Structure 1
Amino acid sequence: MHEDVERCVRAVQSKDARFDGWFFTAVVTTGIYCRPSCPVPAPKPGNMRFYPSAAAAQQAGFRACKRCRPDASPGSPLWNVRADVVARAMRLIGDGVVDREGVSGLARRLGYSVRQLERQLTAELGAGPLALARAQRAQTARMLIESSVLPMGEVAFAAGFSSIRSFNDTVMRVFALTPSQLRARASRSGGVGAAGLLRLRLPFRRPLCPDNVFGHLAATAVPGVEEWRDGAFRRTLSLPHGPGVVGLRPLPEYVECLLRLADVRDLSIAIGRCRWLLDLDADPLAVDEVLRGDEVLRGLVDKAPGRRVPRTVDPHEFAVRAVLGQQVSTAAARTHAGRLVEALGARVEDADGGLTHVFPSVADLVDVGDELLAMPRARRDSLRALVRALADGTVDVSVGADWDAARAGLSGLSGLGPWTVESIAMRSLGDPDAFVASDLGVRLAARQLDLPVSPGALGARSRAWRPWRAYAVQYLWATGDHAINRMPVEAAA
């Protein structure tokens, strides 16, 4: 979009927040780059330059605006909609793969050479993988500087910088302030040390219907791993450097995020996974515009616009839970998952609530015994086949996976039918067009709305909702009186 200069200028002049994250505006006379909705008076069009990423603007020598904080804008919805290599790379960079495995590791995951990958990212985003990861490190550093009282040396290494000097230079170059000045400017409610509480704000594009995403997560919460407490969805996180606990509370302007991490080096990864869980980088106006075009869905969209797709913080975890939930009630699925968690999940300490474990990894589940799988033999065999395929990499359902290859791999496993495959595609892979035509709730909604009920006919009818059929599912589910459609009563109170 950044190449459509006229459209970008109009967005900046109208302070249109819908385009935050789609592109970044740099002003040649000030050397500053902003989000489109920046509240300062719009510069002359001739002084504007437009970039597809914050990294590209930084690489061109511009520093971040201190008022609109463009690095904190919602991420581009393109990376969650597209399935090409650039989008997959951006999702993996957001999950910290470059910091953990380097550019060569990122390229290897995508099946490209380093040179091919750098060429594609630079052509579209104006920056290569290292620059994109560096921009993410700068954002993480700012969050730690402003939300904690960690010593600056710890902040530097937690954000992924290799030296104090590179940390100081990057912060000064991006924000035009030293780390100490940045902390002094911040209005903080108080932070604590490395093992303490971090309070952050997660922005999103409005509108947001919190009932569907938070209601779904609360209703399907696995005991010990997830809970609803004091108006917030809380859960444990399995992160590269240790476990974490997060609380997510929906507020009108942002989602409040309270994080306790074993190691603050995992901060950016934890935030990225929480944003993915809540689908906060979605473009609800684009989604709802398409769905409103169908007279059957128009009333549902108008009643509660901005529904999101509840995703997952761990693609493997959800894939396992999808098989556990085959042909059983929500309560039964929670019971099955809770049994595995209690027996095989690593324990965590939660001073603020009742969380006790992280969900077991696929490595922990490879040799799970029959006594923990109180289900028909065919489903036990399906679960074991899935766990083996995930553990040895035969099937990849990570955020950077190829959607078509993942579907093919899942479909080739015994006992994984269309409902399971599409559920995993919707919530693990994040495919916005995944459609669970055989889901009971979807079929009940179809009958109520005089839509075809058979999976084949309903799937054909749903083509009018492309590429947003996963969001259409959320509106269809909303026709039923199920706990997934509303936040627990204490939140409303």
Structure 2
Amino acid sequence: MHTDTERCVRAVQSKDARFDGWFYTAVLTTGIYCRPSCPAVPPKPAHMVFHPSAAACQQAGFRACKRCRPDTSPGSPEWNVRADLVARAMRLIADGVVDREGVTGLAARLGYSTRQIERQVRAELGAGPLALARAQRARTARLLAETTDLPMADVAFAAGFSSIRTFNDTVREVFALSPSELRTRAPKHAASGTPGVITLRLPFRAPLHPDNLFGHLAATAVPGVEEWRDGAYRRTLRLPYGHGIVALAPRPGHIACRLALSDPRDLTVAISRCRRLLDLDADPVAVDEQLRADPALTPLVDKAPGRRVPRTVDEAEFAVRAVLGQQVSTAAARTHAARLVTAHGTPVDDPEGGLTHLFPTPEELAALDTDALAMPRTRRTTLTTLVRRLADGGLRLGADSDWPETRAALLALPGFGPWTADVIAMRALGDPDAFLPTDLGVRRAADALGLPSTPSALTTRATAWRPWRAYAVQYLWATDSHPINVLPA
């Protein structure tokens, strides 16, 4: 979008927050870059240049605006809509792969050479993977400096910097402030009450309707791993350097987030996964505009605009839970999952609630005694085949997954039909166009709305909803009184 100068100028002049994260405005006369909705008086169009990423602005010599804080914008929705190489690379960069494995590790995961990755990412983002990871480290450093009392040396290494000098130089270059000045200028927040807990706000593009989003997570919560407590969804997180516990609660204009991490180096990854869980980088205006064009969906969208797709923080975990939920009630699926957690999950301490375990890994589940599973033999075979394929690397589910290829691989497994493959594509892989025409709730809603209720006919009708059919499913599900559609008290 940054190449459409006229459209970008209009967005800046109207201070349109919907475009935050889509592009960044660099001001030639001041040397700063801003989000489109910056509250400052818009510069003259002749003084504006537009970049596709904060990293591109930084490479061009611009520093972040101290007023609008462009580094806190929602992420670009492009990376959640597309499954091409650049989008998959951006999802992996957000998950910290470059910091942990370098550009060579990023390229190896994607199956391309480092030169191909560099060229394609730079062509679209205006900066290479290293620069994008550097910008992400700067954001993390700012967040830690402003919201914690960690010593600056700990902030530097937790944000992913290799040295104190690099940390200091980067922060000064990006923000025109020293790390200590960032901390001094930050608004004072009330103490969390628990040592080591980081409190922050997760931004999103309005509107956001939280009922089905948090209702689904709360209604399907696995005891010990997830819970709804004091108006917040809480769960344990398995992270690259350790583990964490997060509490997420809807608030006007943001999601309140409380993170307790065993290793602060996991902060960037934890935030990225929480944003993905709640689908916070979606573009609800584009989604709702497309769905509202169908007269059958218009009243549903108008009643509760901004529905999101509840996703996951762990793709393998969700795949296991999808199999456990085949042809059983929500309560039965939670019971099956809770038994696996108790028997095979890693114990954790939770001073603020009732969380007890991390969900077991595929490697831990590959050794389980299938005879102890209280489920039909065919489903046990489905489950054991899945976890073994995940454990030995024969099947990979992650931010870098190619949606069509992974769906085909899932359908090749015994016991995997279209519903299971598509619900994993929708909620674990993040495919915004995944559709569930055989789902009973979807078919009931379609029938009540006068839409075709047979899978083939409904799929044909849903062509007009593409590429947002996963969001259409949320609107259709919301016509039911199931607890997944109700924000818990």
Task: Indicate the TM-score class for this superposition, using the shorter chain for normalisation.
Answer: over 0.9
CA contact (8 A) 1:86 1:121 kept: yes
Q: 60-69 or 395-404: which moved more?
A: 395-404
Q: Which residue of structure 1 aligns with residue 392 of structure 2?
A: 392
Deviation, 1:395, is: 1.7
Find the aligned partners of 1:109 and 1:86 in 2 and give their Cα distance. 13
Structure 1 residues 195 and 264: CA distance shift in structure 2, 3 A: farther
Q: Which residue of structure 2 aligns with residue 309 of structure 1?
A: 309
Find the aligned partners of 2:403 and 2:92 in 1 and give their Cα distance. 14
Q: Which residue of structure 1 aligns with residue 135 of structure 2?
A: 135
CA contact (8 A) 1:389 1:395 kept: yes
- Number of equivalenced pairs: 489
Q: Which residue of structure 1 aligns with residue 213 of structure 2?
A: 213
| Structure 2 counterpart of 1:84, one-letter code | D
Q: Which residue of structure 2 aligns with residue 293 of structure 1?
A: 293
Residue 177 in structure 1 maps to residue 177 in structure 2: yes
| Structure 2 counterpart of 1:164, one-letter code | I
* RMSD across aligned positions (CA): 1.1
**Structure 1 residue runs of 4 or more that deviate by more than 3 Å after TM superposition:** 190-195
Deviation, 1:421, is: 0.1
Residue 352 in structure 1 maps to residue 352 in structure 2: yes
CA contact (8 A) 2:477 2:485 kept: yes
Provide the secondary structure at the position in 1 that maps to 2:319.
Answer: helix
Q: Which residue of structure 2 aligns with residue 453 of structure 1?
A: 453
| Structure 1 counterpart of 2:229, one-letter code | R
1:421-432 equivalence runs, <5 A: 421-432=421-432
Deviation, 1:191, is: 5.4
Deviation, 1:194, is: 11
> How far does the alpha carbon of each residue in 1:208-256 deviate from its partner, in whole angstroms, 9 at most, with x for none?
0000100100000000000000000000000111110000010011000
Deviation, 1:440, is: 1.1
Find the aligned partners of 2:323 and 2:454 in 1 and give their Cα distance. 22
| Structure 2 counterpart of 1:234, one-letter code | R
1:326-337 equivalence runs, <5 A: 326-337=326-337
| Structure 1 counterpart of 2:387, one-letter code | V
Q: 236-245 or 385-394: which moved more?
A: 385-394
Deviation, 1:192, is: 7.5
> How far does the alpha carbon of each residue in 1:78-104 deviate from its partner, in whole angstroms, 9 at most, with x for none?
000011000000000000111111100
Find the aligned partners of 1:192 and 1:313 in 2 and give their Cα distance. 24
Deviation, 1:390, is: 1.3
| Structure 2 counterpart of 1:285, one-letter code | V
CA contact (8 A) 2:288 2:301 kept: yes
Q: 398-407 or 272-281: which moved more?
A: 398-407
CA contact (8 A) 1:81 1:432 kept: yes
Q: Which residue of structure 1 aligns with residue 239 of structure 2?
A: 239
Find the aligned partners of 1:395 and 1:419 in 2 and give their Cα distance. 18
Residue 377 in structure 1 maps to residue 377 in structure 2: yes
Find the aligned partners of 2:77 and 2:329 in 1 and give their Cα distance. 33
Identical-pair percentage: 70
Q: Which residue of structure 1 aligns with residue 267 of structure 2?
A: 267
Find the aligned partners of 1:395 and 1:18 in 2 and give their Cα distance. 37
CA contact (8 A) 2:26 2:32 kept: yes
Q: Which residue of structure 1 aligns with residue 402 of structure 2?
A: 402
Deviation, 1:394, is: 1.7
Deviation, 1:372, is: 3.9
Provide the secondary structure at the position in 2 that maps to 1:3.
Answer: coil
| Structure 1 counterpart of 2:145, one-letter code | I
Q: Which residue of structure 1 aligns with residue 25 of structure 2?
A: 25
Provide the secondary structure at the position in 2 that maps to 1:295.
Answer: coil
Deviation, 1:408, is: 1.1
CA contact (8 A) 2:94 2:272 kept: yes
CA contact (8 A) 2:370 2:384 kept: no
Provide the secondary structure at the position in 2 that maps to 1:25.
Answer: strand
Find the aligned partners of 1:311 and 1:13 in 2 and give their Cα distance. 35
Structure 1 residues 102 and 443: CA distance shift in structure 2, 3 A: same
Find the aligned partners of 1:456 and 1:99 in 2 and give their Cα distance. 45
Calculate the TM-score normalised by the size of structure 1.
Answer: 0.98
Find the aligned partners of 1:195 and 1:320 in 2 and give their Cα distance. 34
Find the aligned partners of 1:159 and 1:75 in 2 and give their Cα distance. 18
1:49-68 equivalence runs, <5 A: 49-68=49-68
Q: Which residue of structure 2 aligns with residue 37 of structure 1?
A: 37
Q: Which residue of structure 1 aligns with residue 84 of structure 2?
A: 84
Find the aligned partners of 1:382 and 1:333 in 2 and give their Cα distance. 15
CA contact (8 A) 2:231 2:249 kept: yes
Find the aligned partners of 1:351 and 1:398 in 2 and give their Cα distance. 30
Deviation, 1:466, is: 0.2
Find the aligned partners of 1:450 and 1:329 in 2 and give their Cα distance. 27
Provide the secondary structure at the position in 2 that maps to 1:296.
Answer: coil
> How far does the alpha carbon of each residue in 1:458-478 deviate from its partner, in whole angstroms, 9 at most, with x for none?
111111100000000000001
Q: 403-412 or 447-456: which moved more?
A: 447-456
Structure 1 residues 156 and 192: CA distance shift in structure 2, 3 A: farther
Q: Which residue of structure 1 aligns with residue 464 of structure 2?
A: 464
Deviation, 1:371, is: 4.4
